[in-house]
Structure 1
Amino acid sequence: MNIRRRFFLQLGAGAALSTALHACANSGQSTTQAEVAASPDSGSGGADPGKISIGFWPVAAGLPLFLAVEKGYFREVGLDVEAVQFASAQQVAEGIIAGRLQGSGNGTASGALGLAEIASPGLFKILASNPSNEDLKLEQFIVAKDSPVQSIADLAGKRVASGPGAQNKVIAEAVLKANGIEDTEVLQLEIRQHVAALESGQIDAAYTLEPTGTVGEMNGLTRILENGVVSTYILGNPKAPWFGGSATLSTQFIEEYPEAAATYAEAYRRAIEEIRTNPDDVRQYLVGYTAIEGELVERVPLVGYTMFDEFTPEDIEYFQAFFDFMTESDVFSKRVDVAPLIYSPV
């Protein structure tokens, strides 16, 4: 098995792959990984699905799930939904494969979900994805505040880090290569360590994810070299949507409880619509589900959201281009078609 793919498929709780962005305090509405593993599976058959467990990675993109749980949108339509925190997107994917989870919240890496689809074909359907680009800020290269580096092209021969995991590493390598740099070894380092590593001089630059860049700038320690690097250098258009994370429901759940699945999707849509219309008012729901708090709550960039019935043909093409990149980079063992993964109410 290819080394990159083997490393990325280490989905267990104790695997070296763990890509936790921050330590996260549980909200009163959320459940830990250990608790969901110990609980019985949701009921099967009939119209009532029982408890619906949705896994999330504690990042800002998961806001629709946090908001819908906290404001009771699921409860209002008769659904018992719990948000279950995991240390990495890979562990969320594993939970869906094992049947302990009925889906994922936004922010769950699409690459991890793609690998889960390869391991268990027909596993899930995408309810919503969170696109980013140079305007909807998520992924970025950052350097120390006083670094002489002014562009990614200046990183030849420098010490560059990425977050852990094959997806982060291959993206960083591809962006460097697109800037004429092929001889730089990318080190894998926990994202929460990027700012400190830059400040100490351990590394010269990092491919990282928000809110890292905002945190570093707020503290006067780092500056953002370039945002939206996947759109610019991998998709070939700075404005192109990179669907780096997705909310899903398992196909098994959808088939067993089609009405509940459709109801869940509309409650989720309600949360997304509120984020679109009142972004400043809903930021407070990041607290407790992520490590984002204080002044950062008001400053962290929010990504966009695209519901299953809002994808345009061009969106699907860009989503597919990213998955094809993952195949060409040997992270995926075979091509994964995006279009059949998009949810359609039964």
Structure 2
Amino acid sequence: MKSLVRLTFALAVAATLTGFCTGRASAQDKVAVGVFPLSSSLPYFVALEKGFFKEQNIEPEMTKLMGGPANVAAMITGQIEVSAVLVTLEGLNANIKKPGVAMYIALNSQTPEFKMEQFVVRNGVKADRIADLKGMKLMSAPGPANLNTAKGILAKNGLKDGDYTIDQLDMSQHVNAMTAGTFDGGYTLEPNASMMIKAGVARTLEAGVISKYILGNPKADAYAAGCAITSDFIQKRPDVAKRFAMAWSKAVDYINKSPDDARKYLAKNTFTPDNVVDMVSMLGYTMAKDMTPTQIADLQKLSDFGTSIGVVPEKLDVTKYIYKY
């Protein structure tokens, strides 16, 4: 009888502990993430689809936010803890308004090989180089960083204010606007450029323009955007923030090793149609911890350019806003 009682007690304890552990495992840590659905956000979708967040007991709560200003506002007000992709100059500007609000754990390099920002021109418009855009009606990706960078690149090609007109346009409207002939050309992002080319309505004049014209070296890493997390997230939930970064790092590693397989996650998660997925260039996805001194210097030069055009109001030391996990 005593043996039966002991066995019953042991089984009850085991069942209680099992239930307790199962309950803990199922209670994943929620993280509020702002996502701009472009190819720049690919690590987020890879981490989600491949189960890398789940492995770290993370449950992302996604809010689609179109452009840098919307992401910055959400970070400053505490509505999101992570921006899957935040324009670097706008993130640095936000750090002046609220120090530490945007800490970059990963950055995306853009070069002539890793295409993102680029100047395009509508088919039928006579232009072979950026300087040929003089007198034309141009569109730009939205946000002060994109608009002023576009103007800076135009200036490097000899075009000053008054030599052209340029209007900010929501990214979702770029392909339609070019198809309708509303603009002669403009400064757009992927996957829009590939979509225009696939549709036969536009062609790329030049990609890798930030590296070449702003950093002065086509081989330089133009870290124009990246994944940023808030200091509040780091300080209040350090373990959760670290696990989020670990999942992100695994996604970056996966993309860099298997780019062709990773591309498929663009199709249903971004504006990229199925028939354009294979055309879209991957970016140089890099964790902050893996950046070389030369790459950090490239980021500093981009920040200094932001100061020169008034997007980043004062000179900053970018190393203060890189968080290495």
TM-score strictly above 0.5: yes
Q: Which residue of 2 aligns with 1:29?
A: none
SS at structure 2 position matched to 1:305:
strand
1:27-70 CA-to-partner distances (Å, cap 9, x unmatched) read: xxxxxxxxxxxxxxxxxxxxx99311111111111111111112
Determine which of 72, 79, 87 is the counterpart of 1:109.
Answer: 87
In structure 1, what residue type is equivalent to 2:71? Answer: V
1:70 aligns with 2:70: no
Q: Which residue of 2 aligns with 1:262?
A: 242
CA distance in 1, matches of 2:82, 2:180: 40
- Mapping 1:275-294, distance limit 5 Å: 275-294=255-274
Q: Which residue of 2 aligns with 1:26?
A: none
Determine which of 310, 316, 321 is the counterpart of 1:336.
Answer: 316
CA apart distance, 1:190 = 2.7
CA apart distance, 1:132 = 0.5
Q: Which residue of 2 aligns with 1:131?
A: 109
In structure 2, what residue type is equivalent to 1:170? Answer: N
CA distance in 2, matches of 1:83, 1:192: 19
In structure 2, what residue type is equivalent to 1:70? Answer: E
Q: How many residues align?
A: 297
Which blocks of at least 5 consecutive residues in structure 2 are unaligned?
Answer: 1-26
Given that residues 104 and 288 in structure 2 are in contact (C-alpha distance below 8 angstroms), is that contact kept between their aligned partners in structure 1?
A: yes
Alignment CA distance shift 1:87-1:200 (3 Å): closer
In structure 2, what residue type is equivalent to 1:227? Answer: A
In structure 2, what residue type is equivalent to 1:90? Answer: P
CA distance in 1, matches of 2:102, 2:173: 33
Which blocks of at least 5 consecutive residues in structure 1 are unaligned?
Answer: 1-47
CA distance in 2, matches of 1:150, 1:124: 39
1:121-157 CA-to-partner distances (Å, cap 9, x unmatched) read: 1223211011101110011111122222111111222
1:223 aligns with 2:203: yes
CA distance in 1, matches of 2:28, 2:299: 31
Q: Which residue of 2 aligns with 1:210?
A: 190
- Mapping 1:148-227, distance limit 5 Å: 148-182=126-160, 183-227=163-207
1:96-127 CA-to-partner distances (Å, cap 9, x unmatched) read: 2111211111x321122122211111223211
Determine which of 20, 34, 55 is the counterpart of 1:55.
Answer: 34
CA apart distance, 1:187 = 2.3
CA apart distance, 1:283 = 1.9
1:80 aligns with 2:59: yes
In structure 2, what residue type is equivalent to 1:285? Answer: Y
Percent sequence identity is 34
Alignment CA distance shift 1:294-1:174 (3 Å): same
Q: Which residue of 2 aligns with 1:273?
A: 253
CA apart distance, 1:243 = 0.8
CA apart distance, 1:337 = 2.0
1:94 aligns with 2:73: yes
In structure 2, what residue type is equivalent to 1:224? Answer: T
1:183-205 CA-to-partner distances (Å, cap 9, x unmatched) read: 32322233333344344443222
CA distance in 1, matches of 2:53, 2:61: 10
CA distance in 1, matches of 2:177, 2:60: 39
Q: More deviation in 284-293 or 245-254?
A: 284-293
CA distance in 1, matches of 2:146, 2:102: 23
CA apart distance, 1:218 = 0.7
In structure 1, what residue type is equivalent to 2:56? Answer: V
Given that residues 235 and 318 in structure 1 are in contact (C-alpha distance below 8 angstroms), is that contact kept between their aligned partners in structure 2?
A: yes
Alignment CA distance shift 1:170-1:267 (3 Å): same
- C-alpha RMSD over aligned residues: 1.8
CA distance in 1, matches of 2:71, 2:229: 12
Q: Which residue of 2 aligns with 1:315?
A: 295
1:211-244 CA-to-partner distances (Å, cap 9, x unmatched) read: 1221111111111111111111111111111111
Richer in helix (by share): 2
Given that residues 68 and 268 in structure 1 are in contact (C-alpha distance below 8 angstroms), is that contact kept between their aligned partners in structure 2?
A: yes
CA distance in 1, matches of 2:257, 2:179: 38
